[in-house]
Amino acid sequence: MGSVAHYLEIQAPAQRCYDWWRPLTHMPQIFPDVQKVEPRSGEADKTHWVVSGPAGKNVEWDARIVEDEPGRKVAWKSVEQGTEKSNTVATAGAVRFDDHGDSTGVEVSLQYDAPGGAVAEAVATLFADPQQKVERALDKFKELMENPESTSAR
């Protein structure tokens, strides 16, 4: 299993940062490989993820929010779908928000483990240089939070 983490100070309130992350549906705005994250109907804490893989093949999985501390932390973990067609990928992530008054320390941590076969190849491509991808995503998030006018239309 691989893991990455990155911490960045952002000039924005912790609650606003948390509110942006909490639904998880904004991930495509900061992670270019993530095509969409949609809520599962009837389940407020469950989302369906679609991520670009190699050769135009998508990798998909469901995740459930496993920890939720408003204004402080949100964490999620993939769940097995239990179907023959499911591309079950073991992933987990967490975002912590350290309120420093005028600024917020934001730490993103991700863990991932792929099954074998074609899905493993897709996930290996997806997580190629994961540290750099997380750092870029957090830089984009910082831009969004420090320029609220750019997020008001979202």
Distance CA 123, CA 112 (A): 9
In a domain, 151, yes or no: no
**20 domain-assigned:** yes
> Can you give the CATH number for the domain in which 81 is found?
3.30.530.20
Residue 120 falls within a domain, yes or no? yes
Which domain covers residue 100, as residue numbers?
2-146
Residue 154 covered by a domain: no
In a domain, 15, yes or no: yes
Our count of domains for the chain comes to 1
152 part of a folded domain:
no
**148/105: higher pLDDT:** 105
User: Residue 153 falls within a domain, yes or no?
Assistant: no
| Structure confidence at residue 42 (pLDDT) | 78
Is 18 in contact with 97 (CB distance < 8 Å)? yes
Rounded CA gap, 15 and 97, in Å? 8
CA distances from 57 to 37, 49, 68 (A): 16, 14, 32
What pTM did the predictor assign? 0.83
- Dump pLDDT digits (tens) for 126-149: 556 788 989 999 999 999 999 977
Rounded-to-integer distance, Cα 31 and Cα 91, Å: 15
- Residue 56 is given by DSSP the state G
Distance CA 139, CA 149 (A): 17
